[in-house]
DNA sequence: AGGAGTTCGTGAAAGAGTGAACAAACGAAT
DNA sequence: ATTCGTTTGTTCACTCTTTCACGAACTCCT
């Protein structure tokens, strides 16, 4: 299967495809069948030329004078992002954050499903979060291999994040999403994305301070998202 | 007070300052007093020249042939980011995510404190999360103004995110951190950063798919973080 | 004091991302 | 069939970011 992705998509564009995708799904829900780059740009709060350029990395799926067919474009973006299948995901850490993630419906609605949650804390083991029973961290490798998991989420405290990463790597995982505020050290072929809540707040703090000092310098065109590189 | 920030710091550099800051705090904890750009780069998993250039936006705080004094640099970064003070933050939405955020110690340890959590769900009101009692959303403006809050966090479901944003803006908030998977529409002078968990996973999905198709194309130098713009 | 060995700060080049502008291609209307 | 208005796909100029490379400045050792 799969006409493989024609070329590699630039990081910046890649980060916007999921946004377009979500908007398209919403539009489809509203029975909209066609959409122009202009409309899509408006909904995504970006430039229309950017939308067209981003979409052109996927192929030539628009019709001049008309726009894009919502259903078709939705399918193409999904295919490109590998969202035809539902990816099994394992969560390491069953604390507040781990539980919230496991219960987060947005994950299961958008191409992923939680197949395991592990922790080292005996009091958490056996409890059920997000529909799965929490297991001991020692069982991580077994879960990963049995369920063919390639994406792992680290939701442990910072001081345990590296060992969680090591365990995930050893279990054979290829991609890690890290919520702990730590820089992980992993083999080169393992892909890591991090989300650092405090970091984002600190950036807001900077702009708030600028504002208070009279230097009105909100980054031109607000609505930033976190970037990984 | 405050020698105001000399110039505006580029977004890319700004996103790394909190990382350096965290590393410096850790080093300080380990009684390390001096650090070179090379070491800092290693710990942050970036290029040493980048570290030096990033830090040069703050001023000339290094000593050639020696490196940077940990304590001093820590202070300077904190000052630049506006982290001398502890910023009051309000959370809208007391669901799984809102609760996790309110309980997340990393927030309070790094320059912020939760002064309010609001929700519209009557069953949640009155419960205590993260040390504060959940209040009704109608009281948002009052909380914001009484506590001089300028940063708000949206942790509502997607369909209520825009009204949460509107309420925050009306209450007079200047910066919003949005966890709901929606593009918010806000006045130009309000700064928004978004964190979209599913979006990040979808990017990982893309790379996993590439890997499976034989196109080994992990973005050169892994460990990306989310970017907002 | 002077030389050897470090390490910073920065200029300049290379690379990536953005946005304006326009030709090509389409539908609709006459 | 032709014309007209629309919208895409892409080129080009510009900005932002990253990386290299090197002079300047500091410490330590002799």
Task: Read off the pLDDT of residues B46-84 as tens digits, 9 standing for 90 and up.
Answer: 999 999 999 999 999 999 999 999 999 999 999 999 999
For chain A, report the end-to-end CA distance as a whole number of angstroms.
Answer: 30
Task: Kindly report the backbone phi and psi dihedral angles of residue A92, in degrees, each rounded to the nearest multiple of 5, phi listed first.
Answer: -105, 115
Same domain, yes or no: A115 and A177? yes
Asked if residues A57 and A37 have their Cβ atoms less than 8 Å apart, the reply is no
Question: What is the CA B55 to C1' C10 distance in angstroms?
Answer: 12
Would you state the pLDDT for residue B135?
A: 98
* pLDDT category of residue B3 using cuts at 50, 70 and 90: very low
Q: Do the bridges between strand A62-63 and strand A67-69 make them parallel or antiparallel, or are there none, so unpaired?
A: antiparallel
Task: List, as ranges, residues 73-102 from B with C-beta within 8 Å of A.
Answer: 80-83, 87, 89, 96-97, 99-101
Q: Are residues A77 and A91 in the same domain?
A: no
Give yes or no for CB of B12 within 7 Å of strand D: yes
Give the per-residue pLDDT at A38. 98
Task: Please tell me which of the candidates B183, B202, B211 has its beta carbon nearest to residue A110.
Answer: B202
- What is the average pLDDT value for chain A, to the nearest integer? 93
* Whether residues A102 and A179 fall in one domain: yes
Give, in Å, how far the C1' of C23 lies from the CA of A65. Answer: 13
List CB contacts (< 8 A) between B100 and chain A: 96-97, 99-100
The verdict on A91 and A77 lying in the same domain is no
pLDDT computed for residue A7 by the predictor: 65
Query: Mind listing the pLDDT tens digit for each residue in A124-181?
Result: 999 999 999 999 999 999 999 999 999 999 999 999 999 999 999 999 999 999 999 9
Q: What is the per-residue pLDDT for B213?
A: 78
The answer to whether position A136 is within a domain reads yes
Q: Tens digit of pLDDT for each residue in B33-42?
A: 999 999 999 9
The answer to whether the C-beta of A53 is closer than 7 A to strand D is yes
A36 in contact with chain B, both atoms CB, cutoff 8 A: no
Instruction: Tell me how far CA of residue A55 lies from CA of A52, A78, A142, B122, B130, in angstroms.
Output: 5, 12, 40, 44, 43
Q: Which of A19, A12, A158 is nearest to A95 (CA)?
A: A158
- Same domain flag for A92 and A167: yes
Read off φ and ψ for residue A87, nearest 5 degrees: -80, 130
8 Å CB contact between A129 and A117: yes
Q: Do the domain assignments include residue B36?
A: yes
Above 70 in pLDDT, residue B19? yes
**Closest approach of chain A CAs to the CA of B147, in angstroms?**
16
Q: What is the mean pLDDT of residues B128-149?
A: 97
**Does residue A219 register a pLDDT over 70?**
no
Q: How far is CA A224 from the centre of its chain?
A: 15
pLDDT tens, residue by residue, A182-218: 999 999 999 999 999 999 999 999 999 999 876 555 5
Residue B92 structure tokens: 């809208």
Q: Say if residue B75 is in the same domain as residue B129.
A: no
Whether residue A198 lies within 8 A of chain B, CB to CB, comes out as yes
The shortest C-alpha distance from B222 to chain A (Å) reads 6
Q: How many CB atoms lie within 10 A of CB A60?
A: 8
* Domain stops at, among A20, A52, A81: A81
Instruction: Give B88's strand partners.
Output: B113
Average pLDDT over residues B170-178: 98
Of B3-17, B27-41, B209-223, which one has max mean pLDDT? B27-41
A64 CA, D2 C1': Å apart = 19
Instruction: State residue A2's pLDDT score.
Output: 37
**What percentage of chain B carries pLDDT values higher than 70?**
90
Under an 8 A CB cutoff, do B194 and A2 touch? no
d(CA A204, CA B175): 6
Which of A229, A225, A127, A140 has its CA nearest to residue A183? Answer: A229
Interface of A with B in 132-171 (CB under 8 A): 150-151, 158
Higher-confidence residue of B218 and A180: namely: A180
What is d(CA A185, CA A166) in angstroms, rounded to the nearest whole number? Answer: 8
Q: Judge whether B208 lies within some domain.
A: no
Q: Examine the domain organization and report whether A94 and A174 are in the same domain.
A: yes
pLDDT-derived band at A43, boundaries 50, 70, 90: very high
Give yes or no: residues B113 and B189 share one domain: yes
> CA–CA distance from A94 to each of A90, A193, B24, B90 (Å)?
11, 19, 28, 25
| Helix residue ranges per DSSP H, A82-220 | 96-103, 105-109, 140-146, 158-171, 197-212
pLDDT average, residue stretch A81-95: 97
Q: Pick from A37, A56, A81: which residue ends a domain?
A: A81
Mean pLDDT score of chain B, rounded to an integer?
Answer: 93
Residues B191, B96, single domain; the answer is: yes
- pLDDT value at B221 more than 70: no
Q: Is residue A27 part of a domain?
A: yes
Residues A54 and A135 in one domain: no
**Residue A221: strand, helix, or coil:** coil
Tally of CA atoms within 13 A in the half-sphere of B151 that contains its CB: 25
Tens-digit pLDDT profile for residues B114-133: 999 999 999 999 999 999 99
> Residue B96 corresponds to which tokens in the numbers above?
């799984």
Judged by C1' against the alpha carbon of A220, the nearest nucleotide is: C18
Bases along strand D below 7 A from a protein CB: 5-11, 16-21, 23-27
Q: Are residues B34 and B74 in the same domain?
A: yes
Residue A11: strand, helix, or coil: helix
Is the pLDDT reported for residue B150 higher than 90? yes
The answer to the question of residue B221 being in a domain is: no
Same domain, B16 and B36: yes
Strand D within 7 A of A79 CB: no
- DSSP-derived 3-state class of residue B118: strand
Instruction: Supply the pLDDT for residue B202.
Output: 98
Q: Which residue has the higher pLDDT, B220 or A72?
A: A72
CA of A51 to C1' of C20 (A): 14
pLDDT at B224: 72
Q: Tell me if B16 is assigned to some domain.
A: yes
The answer as to whether A221 is a domain residue is no
- For chain B, the domain total comes to 2
A59: left (phi over 0), alpha (psi -120 to 50) or beta: left
Last residue in a domain, options B65, B81, B97: B81
Range of the domain at A132: 87-195
Q: What percent of chain A has pLDDT over 70?
A: 90
**pLDDT band at residue A5 under the 50/70/90 scheme:** very low
Give the DSSP H or E segment for B22: helix B17-29
Of the pLDDT bands very low, low, confident and very high (cuts 50, 70, 90), residue A3 is: very low
Question: Which one has a higher pLDDT value, A31 or A226?
Answer: A31
Asked whether residue A117 is domain-assigned, the answer is yes
The whole-number average pLDDT for the span A55-64 is: 98
Express the helix, strand and coil content of chain A in percent, nearest 5 each: 45, 20, 35
CA-to-CA distance for B68 and B63, rounded, in angstroms? 6
Note every long-range contact of B155-161, with CB atoms under 8 Å and residues 24 or more positions apart, other chains counting.
B155/B91, B155/B92, B155/B93, B155/B94, B155/B95, B155/B97, B155/B98, B155/B101, B155/B179, B155/B180, B156/B92, B156/B93, B156/B95, B156/B98, B156/B180, B157/B93, B157/B95, B158/A106, B158/B182, B160/B93, B160/B120
Please give the pLDDT value at position A213: 79
CA to C1' distance (Å), from A93 to C14: 42
Q: What percentage of chain B has pLDDT greater than the value 90?
A: 88
CA distance B214 to B35: 41
Q: Examine the pLDDT at A59 and tell me if it is beyond 50.
A: yes
């Amino acid at each position: 299967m799969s006409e493989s992705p024609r070329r590699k998509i630039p990081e910046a564009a890649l980060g916007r495809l999921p946004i377009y995708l979500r908007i398209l799904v919403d539009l489809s829900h509203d029975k909209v069948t066609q959409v122009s780059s202009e409309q899509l740009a408006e909904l995504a709060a970006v430039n229309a030329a950017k939308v067209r350029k981003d979409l052109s990395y996927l192929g030539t799926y628009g019709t001049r004078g008309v726009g894009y067919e919502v259903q078709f474009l939705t399918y193409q973006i999904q295919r490109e992002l590998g969202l035809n299948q539902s990816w099994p995901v394992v969560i390491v850490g069953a604390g507040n954050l781990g539980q919230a993630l496991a219960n987060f419906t947005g994950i299961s609605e958008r191409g992923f499903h939680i197949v395991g949650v592990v922790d080292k804390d005996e009091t958490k083991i056996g409890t059920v979060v997000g529909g799965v029973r929490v297991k001991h961290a020692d069982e991580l490798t077994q879960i990963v291999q049995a369920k063919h998991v390639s994406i792992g989420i680290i939701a442990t405290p910072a001081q345990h994040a590296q060992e969680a990463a090591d365990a995930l790597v050893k279990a054979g995982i290829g991609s890690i999403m890290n919520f702990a505020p730590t820089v992980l050290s992993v083999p080169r072929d393992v892909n890591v994305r991090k989300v650092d809540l405090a970091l984002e707040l600190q950036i807001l703090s900077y702009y708030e301070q600028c504002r208070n000092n009279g230097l009105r310098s909100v980054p031109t065109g607000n609505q930033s998202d976190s970037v990984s590189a």
